[in-house]
Amino acid sequence: MKIVIQRVSEASVTIEREQVASIKSGLLILLGITDDDGNEDIKWLTNKAVNLRVFGDENNVMNKSIRDVDGDIIVVSQFTLHALTKKGNRPSYIKAAKPDIAIPLYESFVKQLEMDLGKPVQTGQFGADMKVSLLNDGPVTIIIDSKNKG
């Protein structure tokens, strides 16, 4: 399981010209799932996400977490995070989990994130053609792969 965390001043998700999620200061998390991901990956990544110190303190040093600043989160499923690009110019998505595996894990990730954060998390819609808009703050963008936790 892989996430891309972006610290944002604002972010939103639009599907078929209808805005389905919108936040001000917080995190936009792109989530990619593979067939061999499970609950351990979810718990480890959500814990990392809510405790990651990427927000400025009173000295403008990145020393505060999303919890500390009472920020909001949007989670967007993104199978392309697991693109294989070694051969040719067309990415292969064979490592990305199919919907029957990915959807329950995506939903579990969001629920666990809400429990860890202590408040609701907004989302895109799994499998939809989404338009994601963001104002990256910093910019701060961090990639975390649960397979690299060891």
- Angle 99-117/39-51 helices, nearest 10 degrees? 40
Q: Answer whether 143's CB lies under 8 Å from 3's CB.
A: yes
Q: Is 80 a catalytic residue?
A: yes
Q: Answer whether 11's CB lies under 8 Å from 135's CB.
A: yes
Q: Of 46, 78, 112, 123, which is the active-site residue?
A: 78
Q: Answer whether 47's CB lies under 8 Å from 110's CB.
A: no
Q: Of 34, 46, 79, 122, which is the active-site residue?
A: 79
Which residues are tagged catalytic? 78-80
